[in-house]
């Protein structure tokens, strides 16, 4: 969506989607996701943009086709599920073999080279995205770097970049776990560590684990790409995420609550995306011990989330919860701070 809006400032863009609801929203210039900049562009900018369900018609006269379909990690094959990407490539090749195909979806190392050889497509390339939740359009408008490649290096850059970020999150999470276990003030240790200019005071606020859509799957894919290469660190990054969630869940369970409230499923402020958010891992571990869990999440439409009741009234949620688990501390729950379990030390994402 953000790429379509970005390019539609100066080019005729057709956005292809599988959901009629999203197509209708885009054609009505309404934003289908939470992204302040995207909402502003759709409402205020003159855009050459339309959306359609008819993929074949959209591809047939396109000079460039940009693929941004999901590639979830398949734990059975230890490989990204690239079937949606390959399906689009085959569709485009069938109706418009001259089109340049640019993959934005995260893919395994060697994917483009393999597809080029198997399909005989010389116009296929990869250009990875490096975006933050809720600020995707801004990051596309002001990119820190632009990488385009038809060899494996571009794919490796994407996976290594995200794995490094996961490593940094895991490091400060383990620092925080150590401080908790030893009765020390994690905030002071983090601040003092960050005064070293080689480390810096950024991206150092503890989480319940690294989560979201990209970091968990990208670290696992990179680990799978290392299957024939000696390594210790990549495996440790992946394992550290499970260890962190186990440790924090045990801290909550030790409080012997009857009801645990999960305050927001989203990973970051200003986002409506909670795919694989780390707090869900905490939630599952608590439920596995037979403790009742309720959820407060305004973006949820259903009354049940994986067997836990969704409580829509915040005051009711506060009252029924003995412990409130919050990935990020906000002003609307500070009045029940004595109930809150969080590792948010600085209020940053």
Q: Is there a single domain that holds both residue 177 and residue 295?
A: yes
Q: Is there a single domain that holds both residue 219 and residue 251?
A: yes
| Domain membership flag for residue 169 | yes
206 near 186, Cβ under 8 Å?
A: yes
Measured in residues, the chain has a length of 349
What's the rounded mean pLDDT across residues 277-297?
A: 95
Q: Is there a single domain that holds both residue 172 and residue 72?
A: no
Q: Is there a single domain that holds both residue 68 and residue 7?
A: yes
- Which residue shows structure tokens 């490989």? 79
pTM: 0.88
Dihedral in degrees, nearest 10, Cα atoms 282, 283, 285, 291 = 140
CA 176 to chain centre: 22
> 89-98 — which CB contacts under 8 Å span 24+ positions?
89/115, 89/119, 89/121, 89/124, 90/119, 91/55, 91/56, 91/59, 92/59, 92/62, 92/65, 93/119, 93/121, 95/56, 95/59, 95/60, 96/59, 96/60, 96/61, 96/62, 96/65, 97/121, 98/123
| Domain membership flag for residue 97 | yes
Give the confidence band of 174 by pLDDT, cuts at 50, 70, 90.
very high
Residue percentage of the chain with pLDDT more than 90: 74
Q: Is there a single domain that holds both residue 30 and residue 106?
A: yes
Q: Which residues contact 274 (CB under 8 A, 6 or more apart)?
A: 265, 266, 267, 280, 297, 299
Q: Is there a single domain that holds both residue 228 and residue 268?
A: yes
Give the confidence band of 27 by pLDDT, cuts at 50, 70, 90.
very high
Q: Is there a single domain that holds both residue 142 and residue 275?
A: no
* Tally of domains within the chain: 2
Q: Which residues contact 25 (CB under 8 A, 6 or more apart)?
A: 31, 32
Question: Considering 151, 186, 216, which residue would you say is the last residue of a domain?
Answer: 151
Flag the least confident range among 39-48, 74-83, 249-258. 74-83
Q: Is there a single domain that holds both residue 220 and residue 316?
A: yes
Question: Considering 134, 151, 168, which residue would you say is the last residue of a domain?
Answer: 151
Q: Give the range of the structural domain holding residue 195, as residue numbers without chain letter.
A: 160-341
pLDDT at position 2, please?
84
| Domain membership flag for residue 88 | yes
Please tell me the distance from the alpha carbon of residue 179 to that of residue 326, in angstroms, as a whole number: 19
Q: Is there a single domain that holds both residue 127 and residue 216?
A: no
Q: Which two tokens stand for residue 148?
A: 């385009």
Please tell me the distance from the alpha carbon of residue 297 to that of residue 331, in angstroms, as a whole number: 16
What's the rounded mean pLDDT across residues 300-309?
A: 92
| Domain membership flag for residue 127 | yes
- Average pLDDT of the chain is 92
Q: Is there a single domain that holds both residue 198 and residue 333?
A: yes
Give the confidence band of 145 by pLDDT, cuts at 50, 70, 90.
very high
What's the rounded mean pLDDT across residues 124-138?
A: 85
State pLDDT tens for residues 176-225. 999 999 999 999 999 999 999 999 999 999 989 987 778 888 999 999 88
CATH code of 175's domain: 3.40.50.720
| Domain membership flag for residue 240 | yes
pLDDT at position 244, please?
96
State pLDDT tens for residues 226-275. 988 999 999 999 999 999 999 999 999 999 999 999 999 987 665 666 77
| Domain membership flag for residue 346 | no
pLDDT at position 1, please?
80
Residue 97 reports pLDDT greater than 70: yes
Q: Is there a single domain that holds both residue 184 and residue 113?
A: no
Q: Is there a single domain that holds both residue 129 and residue 27?
A: yes
**Which of the pair, 246 or 301, is modelled with greater confidence?**
246
| Domain membership flag for residue 212 | yes
List C-alpha distances in Å: 320 to 28, 189, 327: 41, 35, 19
pLDDT at position 270, please?
58
Give the catalytic positions in this structure.
214
Question: Considering 120, 151, 182, which residue would you say is the last residue of a domain?
Answer: 151
Residue percentage of the chain with pLDDT more than 70: 97
| Domain membership flag for residue 348 | no
């Amino acid at each position: 969506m953000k790429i379509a809006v970005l390019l539609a400032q100066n080019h005729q863009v057709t956005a292809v989607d599988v959901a009629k609801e999203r197509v209708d929203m885009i054609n009505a210039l309404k934003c289908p996701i939470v992204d302040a900049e995207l909402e502003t562009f759709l409402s205020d900018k003159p855009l050459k943009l339309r959306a359609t369900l008819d993929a074949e018609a959209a591809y047939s006269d396109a000079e460039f086709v940009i693929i941004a379909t999901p590639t979830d990690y398949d734990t059975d094959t230890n490989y990204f599920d690239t079937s949606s990407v390959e399906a689009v490539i085959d569709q485009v090749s069938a109706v418009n073999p001259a089109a340049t195909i640019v993959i934005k979806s995260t893919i395994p190392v060697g994917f483009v080279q393999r597809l080029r050889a198997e399909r005989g497509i010389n116009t296929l390339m990869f250009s990875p995205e490096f975006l933050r939740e809720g600020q995707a359009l801004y990051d596309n408008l002001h990119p820190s770097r632009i990488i385009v490649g038809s060899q494996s290096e571009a794919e490796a850059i994407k996976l290594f970049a995200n794995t490094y970020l996961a490593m940094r999150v895991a490091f400060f999470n383990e620092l925080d776990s150590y401080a908790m276990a030893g009765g020390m003030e994690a905030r002071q240790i983090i601040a003092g560590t960050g005064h070293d200019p080689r480390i810096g005071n950024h991206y150092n606020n503890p989480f319940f684990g690294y989560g979201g859509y990209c970091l968990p799957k990208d670290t696992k894919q990179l680990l799978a790409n290392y299957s024939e290469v000696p390594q210790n660190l990549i495996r440790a990054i992946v394992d550290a995420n499970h260890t962190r969630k186990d440790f924090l869940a045990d801290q909550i369970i030790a409080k012997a609550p009857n009801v645990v409230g999960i305050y927001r499923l989203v990973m970051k402020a200003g986002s409506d995306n909670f795919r694989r958010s780390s707090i869900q891992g905490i939630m599952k571990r608590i439920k596995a011990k037979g403790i009742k869990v309720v959820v407060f999440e305004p973006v949820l439409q259903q009354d049940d989330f994986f067997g836990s009741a969704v409580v829509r009234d915040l005051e009711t949620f506060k009252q029924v919860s003995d412990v409130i688990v919050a990935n990020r501390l906000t002003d609307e729950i500070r009045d029940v701070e004595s109930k809150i379990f969080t590792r948010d030390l600085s209020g940053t994402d």
